[in-house]
Structure 1
């Protein structure tokens, strides 16, 4: 569910000044830092107008999001960068070999990193390579209720006919049509595989991401469900699609979207990839415990942390988000490891996506689902723990729907990669994007519906 980022997304607009300097840093710079055992790429992009630089940072091993700097200074061959809202600062020196050598600090820790003009490309052997044996089309469709236009890619078999189709729905956090994160593009790999099997696939940028309209930060699960329903409506008007065989594949939070729409009898079938099978608060508590435990935290630490988070959730969920007070948050987190993080807590916990996640209980919807369901998870998933969540999906069967298939994969993490620990720190280090077994199981199951 909630993805772990070293740099939180912010919406600060960049405006920075640059004094006269011997060199021009305009363009792209690439580096890699060792951050807590993670080898993370950092890409910097600068533009210049007059004597003023603007720019942003991308950490492609975590997200495709462009994180703008609110301060850029380059003088006497010394570069200073800052993203104040997340406490990020970089100090570096331009060298004669056309590199910038320095370090960044965040949350009291310092990490050396050297930037050059040479792009660092991660090895992703599953990313599709042209020529493709299918058709690819860039499309847009409207969510009329929200008055937003969403942009995506549809892939179709070349031979004329009526084919089953799926809409891909991403997990939490603003993501593009490929669900690009940690240097991987899972939805691109899924779309490529399924279309080769004779399945039409539509994937799209979330609201406010890529070429899609709207504001992601104002949206929650019901809004994302409206977008997915609009995608299904679009597919029903495609001559290549069998209108009776349009389903949803939802990953993580996207699984909640699939559950909600299935309860409304909108898709013909759903595939839940590590989707929630228990209420949001229980899910998040178990997620925190699993992540901390695997990282070496003591049970006492985990219990104290979860007790604090429970108090925060109680307060946030019983208070209008516009009435949440910093003083109340301070009182709850005083003396804990969260002390001093009031603004970050308020921003994250009062976001519409977090509020709807915490309030979402799939059991309220499972009893209304009558379509076929495929629920998959990996036993090394530390974000949506396999056992309790897959157990939840059994409630669909208990309510009389016997078209439910549940499978737990040994050794797979939240992204369905073969993993060692399952920690998010591994995601970018693993070359595999998604297990071929999962792709095969999805394809075969969909074609049987």
Structure 2
């Protein structure tokens, strides 16, 4: 515990707090100092990150300097690092303005650390000098969390439009176009969801990876179409009518309809439309591509190339080995059951009447039967469509086995020279950065898709268009 003559620094398990000190400076018009506040906040935090506490201290108000010397700031930061662990990166900056008194401003810098996300709040009261300093562990609000555009996206250069997918069919879905602000003809990427009934943002607990992709690419001149997955949009209808869900029903059909809708949009460069599939979406987009004429390329992010039941078995075995997930005795029992279900999916006796409870994830037999003999890598090879295959090395939902099989299978394709294969060492299934052994708990940590992936997709798409 650190103490000064007039101030006590409270350190809780999740919150580090410095009380805001009252400034006696003469008030200035709010708008005239906001840029200075942002600049000084950035300079202060940057100085702290490189442990230049004297420089960081220089941005405080006179009162703050007296009550919180540079040595105290150093000790405070050292205690914070013990709690937060290694600082990985600063990934977001935002401005909070008091709705009643607009002279009260907080500039918040979000840090990704080994133990999760932490927010540094620098407080201002009328002047450009820092009047208060807080650090608190960020706790995601899940569905209630307000999405923040990533720092690498230029929000003021992007516009958003609505579009209807599957118009005139029984499965109409509202889609969202995110595209460059200026009117023109643009290449477009259509995002096809991974497993589960996902929304158009691809929301995984605290994160929205598809929104990140949309804003990041649109601000670089590439339009993005995303939409709610059919199994989410029509969940009640599917259940009430007992419709059998297959990969084509949940993914392929809407990918084709999205391509049709985009071809009719006036700002689409119809010769430069790409499908981007995440997870199982990447596994299934070749099924759509074989029925689409004029597709420019495919982007597979963490996409399985092996039989889906084998990928799921590896995934479930991995999760059951994590110490924090389940008791070891229960894990063994669950694993035995999973292996029996896996064998039932593989069995030649699998039929539409096989009970759900006998099959992996209790997924109905028609789903598995529709994937019998499906080889996504070989189908992709036969299509001769350029591909970008990307994997996060910390992804436990697919693996390097899948990446290597994609690369081996496509090495002899006609489009091999135009393909890009890339591994991101520190990224997970959501293509977000992490450390240590990957686990599902990572998805509760709010972050954004890594900037490098955005840059790589942008470069690959634009180079392909030139050829």
TM-score class normalised by the smaller sequence = 0.5 to 0.7
Which SS does the other structure have where 1:285 is aligned?
A: helix
Out of 275, 286, 294, the position equivalent to 2:314 is: 286
Task: Identify the residue that residue 262 of structure 1 maps to in structure 2.
Answer: 289
Out of 202, 212, 217, the position equivalent to 1:179 is: 202
Q: State the 1:272 CA deviation.
A: 0.5
- Tell me, yes or no, if structure 1 residue 236 matches structure 2 residue 267: no
For 1:208 and 1:160, the matched residues in 2 are separated by 34
Higher mean alpha-carbon deviation, 438-447 vs 382-391, is at: 382-391
Task: Identify the residue that residue 162 of structure 2 maps to in structure 1.
Answer: 138
Q: State the 1:220 CA deviation.
A: 2.2
Task: Identify the residue that residue 428 of structure 1 maps to in structure 2.
Answer: 444
Q: State the 1:262 CA deviation.
A: 3.1
Normalising by structure 1, we get a TM-score of: 0.61
For 1:132 and 1:355, the matched residues in 2 are separated by 48
Q: State the 1:181 CA deviation.
A: 1.6
Q: Highest Rg: 1 or 2?
A: 2
For 2:147 and 2:252, the matched residues in 1 are separated by 34
Deviations 1:230-261 (A, max 9, x none): 10111111121111110111100110222222
Which SS does the other structure have where 1:135 is aligned?
A: strand
For 1:288 and 1:364, the matched residues in 2 are separated by 26
RMSD: 3.5
Number of matched pairs: 313
Which SS does the other structure have where 1:398 is aligned?
A: coil
Task: Identify the residue that residue 315 of structure 1 maps to in structure 2.
Answer: 344
For 1:142 and 1:434, the matched residues in 2 are separated by 29
Q: State the 1:208 CA deviation.
A: 4.5
Deviations 1:130-151 (A, max 9, x none): 964222112212166x631011
Of Structure 1 and Structure 2, which has the larger fraction of its residues in helix?
2
Q: State the 1:356 CA deviation.
A: 4.7
For 1:129 and 1:412, the matched residues in 2 are separated by 19
Check 1:122–1:201 CA distance in 2 against 1; reply closer, same or farther (3 A cut): closer
Matches within 5 A, 1:380-391: 380-391=394-405
Q: State the 1:417 CA deviation.
A: 1.2
Q: State the 1:268 CA deviation.
A: 1.4
Task: Identify the residue that residue 245 of structure 2 maps to in structure 1.
Answer: 219
Q: State the 1:169 CA deviation.
A: 0.8
Q: State the 1:397 CA deviation.
A: 2.2
Matches within 5 A, 1:341-352: 348-350=362-364
Check 1:384–1:300 CA distance in 2 against 1; reply closer, same or farther (3 A cut): farther
Q: State the 1:278 CA deviation.
A: 1.4
CA contact (8 A) 1:143 1:227 kept: no
Out of 165, 188, 209, the position equivalent to 2:188 is: 165
Which SS does the other structure have where 2:166 is aligned?
A: strand
Task: Identify the residue that residue 70 of structure 1 maps to in structure 2.
Answer: none
CA contact (8 A) 1:127 1:185 kept: no
- Tell me, yes or no, if structure 1 residue 201 matches structure 2 residue 230: no
CA contact (8 A) 1:122 1:183 kept: no
For 2:458 and 2:184, the matched residues in 1 are separated by 18
Q: State the 1:305 CA deviation.
A: 5.5
For 1:309 and 1:233, the matched residues in 2 are separated by 40
- Tell me, yes or no, if structure 1 residue 375 matches structure 2 residue 350: no
Check 1:213–1:278 CA distance in 2 against 1; reply closer, same or farther (3 A cut): same
CA contact (8 A) 1:153 1:204 kept: yes
For 1:386 and 1:124, the matched residues in 2 are separated by 31
For 1:174 and 1:123, the matched residues in 2 are separated by 20
For 1:390 and 1:226, the matched residues in 2 are separated by 28
CA contact (8 A) 1:218 1:351 kept: no
For 2:390 and 2:193, the matched residues in 1 are separated by 15
Check 1:258–1:346 CA distance in 2 against 1; reply closer, same or farther (3 A cut): closer
For 1:393 and 1:301, the matched residues in 2 are separated by 38
